[in-house]
Amino acid sequence: MEHLLSAWPEVAAQLREARHVLLMTDFDGTLTPIAERPELANLPPATKGLLQSLARLPDFTVGVISGRALVDLKEKVGIGGLVYAGNHGLEIEGPGINLVHPIAEELEPILRVMQYVLSGSLRAIKGAFVENKRLSLSVHYRLVEDSQTTKVESIVKQVVSRAEAAGQARITRGKKVYEVRPAVTWDKGKAVKLLMKKYGKGGRRSGLVPIYLGDDLTDEDGFRAIEAYGTGISVFVGEAGVQSTARYRLESPAEVVTFLRKILD
């Protein structure tokens, strides 16, 4: 991956030629540093100001795509006029779009039962907790001692196994988190494709330049969607040496701020 700030002249030329820019970004680890608990993550004022300014431009659409629940994501970002995609794109709300994946909604009662069982089973493991995001669950173990992490994994697999075998749920991994999601063919990549289709009618001939920034395994689907489009900008946020399908890299959320400021300038 090439460092994006080093490649800025060619990226800037690509953006200047665009008829419309669709800027899509993950939240945790991308716009804001990873926090020990989800509720402790806060969007820095400088980042919020830049996103607000970009969203006001007539040839820009700004979206935030996150594993967080939609209502939580909107509260954390707090900017009107943006596209918000929660639960890895299972629920999307923004200008001209409002959707919830119907199968995910049908499976919500099953997720509630699994949350109850998981919470009880993990109670004895210090630092482990379950976050109910309505359409998915997150089992966080960032604060768990290393000697207990395999036990967390075993419990999650055991509790979800029946729903998994029935084709109702699946487990995906993130940074110190297990995601229990509905077993539907939907992810951040599908959400990115949907938004590119909506805001770039006519495909590649529309002049749309889509951008996607992310830092986690779940963001790889978004990177692949951008790369398949052919004229987009995919950006992994994290340390050098990590394998990713993204074309470019930024070191940290602080460098994301620098990138956003360069776009605005």
Catalytic residues: 26
Strands 208-214 and 177-182: unpaired
Residue 56, phi then psi, degrees to nearest 5? -80, -15
DSSP character for 91?
A: E
d(CA 217, CA 227): 16
Torsion sign over Cα 107, 109, 115, 118: negative
* Cα 172 to Cα 175: distance, rounded to the nearest angstrom: 11
- Write the CB contacts of 162 (distance below 8 Å, at least 6 apart in sequence): none
